[in-house]
Amino acid sequence: MIKTDIIIIGAGPVGLFAIFEAGLLKLKCHLIDSLPQPGGQCSEIYPKKPIYDIPGYPSVLAGELVDKLMEQAEPFKPGFTLGEAAVKIDKVAEDKFIVTTDKGTQHEAPIVMIAGGLGVFEPRKPPIEGLENYEDKGVEYIIKDPEFYRGKRCVIAGGGDSALDWAIYLTDKNIASEVSLVHRRSSFRGHLDSVQRVMDLADQGKINLITEAEVVGIDGNDKVENVTIKHKTDGEFKKETDHFIPLFGLKPSLGPIADWGLEIEKNAIKVDTRDYSTNIPGIYAIGDVNTYEGKLKLILCGFHEGTIALQSAFARIYPDKKNVLKYTTVNGVQGF
Ligand SMILES: Cc1cc2nc3c(=O)[nH]c(=O)nc-3n(C[C@H](O)[C@H](O)[C@H](O)COP(=O)(O)OP(=O)(O)OC[C@H]3O[C@@H](n4cnc5c(N)ncnc54)[C@H](O)[C@@H]3O)c2cc1C
């Protein structure tokens, strides 16, 4: 059981900044995110795009903003459970919640702050019969740790940056023993330099590039042993492999958040704008995941909401302590 002061569900920009604001109040945070890395939409959807409306930054790449937020949070030693979705919140006492993930990891705290953005990013799965039976038995939709594929034969499917980048990485670093990249079309959607690199590696015989083709079948006893590939003109053939990794992107869905007894409106959590609390005392919702009159789904609005919510959370945890607002210019940053 991981114990902390504040469990933050969602490690997007808003959840990350909340660590800093909690730290100023001497409250410790533990974050849970279904993605394998922090940063939410900024890391997953547009890491290389410049953002122009973060105060004090005339322009900052989304990925760079995430790095800076991590750096700002670092003195407060946050904990992270990454690559796991929070699926259950149990209120076991007036001041005690237990949050459980899909992998069974349990977290306990007096406060839960939901910073779940657009919800859990779920993988887009190809329509292959029996695919689910091989999940975690050779079928993975996200590459969490490339070392997992050391010495293995991998068939990656997809035509975007994720498929291209991982095919290159697993080949260039000599991790996988064999990499095949299967894509429906002859052209790719990813960055031009990544496409060129894949072409070069294919010419050198290091990537087995199979275009105008789709993986249509999968088989094996206890784990993946073969995939069936259907080529537009050459028909079907089997390919032996240890892993099948379809990388067709992720789609957001509110997911388990919708089942926690929270008041939901317009696919978001209704909050009281005095402190961004939800209808369940002790649970707050900040950032894109909440809704109220005049709501704007902007990063800077989420930063404000987290700051206000944490003041309220502090008063809940320490009802007898007076909290006087202290400027960072006066007090500096006293880490843990
Ligand atoms: C292309 C694009 C451009 C944008 N440009 C701008 C801009 O210029 N300026 C601006 O202010 N905003 C911009 N935005 C919007 C901005 O990205 C969002 O407002 C911001 O990401 C919201 O942050 P968040 O932390 O609330 O949520 P998110 O960034 O969505 O992060 C939420 C996290 O919660 C996780 N999560 C959800 N449910 C669970 C669960 N049950 N268990 C575990 N984890 C969970 C998700 O995996 C995700 O990582 C843009 C968005 C897009 C898509």
Span 103-126, average pLDDT: 93
d(CA 170, CA 178): 9
**Pair of tokens at residue 193:** 């330099």
Pairing of strands 2-3, 106-109: parallel
Selection from 240, 235, 237, 234 nearest residue 219 by Cα: 240
Mean pLDDT of 90-105: 95
Domains and CATH numbers, the chain: 2-121+250-335 (3.50.50.60), 125-246 (3.50.50.60)
| CA dihedral over 1, 289, 69, 143, signed as positive or negative | positive
Q: How far apart are CA 268 and CA 291, in angstroms?
A: 6
Q: What is the structure's pLDDT at 191?
A: 87
Maximum Cα interatomic distance, the chain, rounded to a whole number of Å:
75
Q: Please report which confidence band the pLDDT of residue 121 belongs to, taking 50, 70 and 90 as the band edges.
A: confident
**Whether pLDDT at 123 is above 90:** no
Cβ neighbours around 31 below 10 Å, total: 26
- 158 ligand 1 Cβ < 6 A: no
Average pLDDT over residues 279-303: 97
Using one digit for the tens of pLDDT, what is the confidence trace for 232-277?
A: 999 999 999 999 999 998 887 888 898 999 999 988 999 999 999 9
Predicted confidence at residue 282, as pLDDT, reads 97
Pocket test for ligand 1, best of 84, 286, 299, 303 (most atoms within 8 A of CB): 299
Q: Is residue 9 a contact partner of residue 99, using CB atoms and an 8 Å limit?
A: yes
Q: pLDDT tens across 60-86, in order? A: 999 999 999 999 999 999 999 999 999
Contact 286, 116 (CB under 8 A): no
Protein residue with its CA nearest to atom 33 in ligand 1: 10
Distance 125 CA to ligand 1 centre (A): 22
Q: Which residues contact 327 (CB under 8 A, 6 or more apart)?
A: none
What DSSP letter does each residue of 234-274 carry, written as one string?
Answer: TEEEEEE-SEEEE---EEEE-GGGGGSS--EETTEEE-BTT
φ, ψ of residue 334 to 5 degrees: the values are -95, 100
Q: Closest Cα partner for 106 from 128, 92, 88, 118? A: 88
Check pocket membership of 41 for ligand 1, CB cut-off 6 A. yes
DSSP state of 125: P
pTM: 0.77
Distance CA 211, CA 167 (A): 14
Q: Which residue has the tokens 């796991």?
A: 84
Q: In which order are the strands placed within the sheet that holds 213-219?
A: 213-219, 226-231, 235-240
Radius of gyration of the chain from Cα atoms? 22
Q: Is the CB of 18 under 6 A from ligand 1?
A: no
* Beta carbon of 40 within 6 Å of any ligand 1 atom: yes
Burial class (CB in 10 A: 0-12, 13-18, 19+), 151: exposed
pLDDT score for 325? 87
Residue 305 Cβ contacting ligand 1 at under 6 Å? no
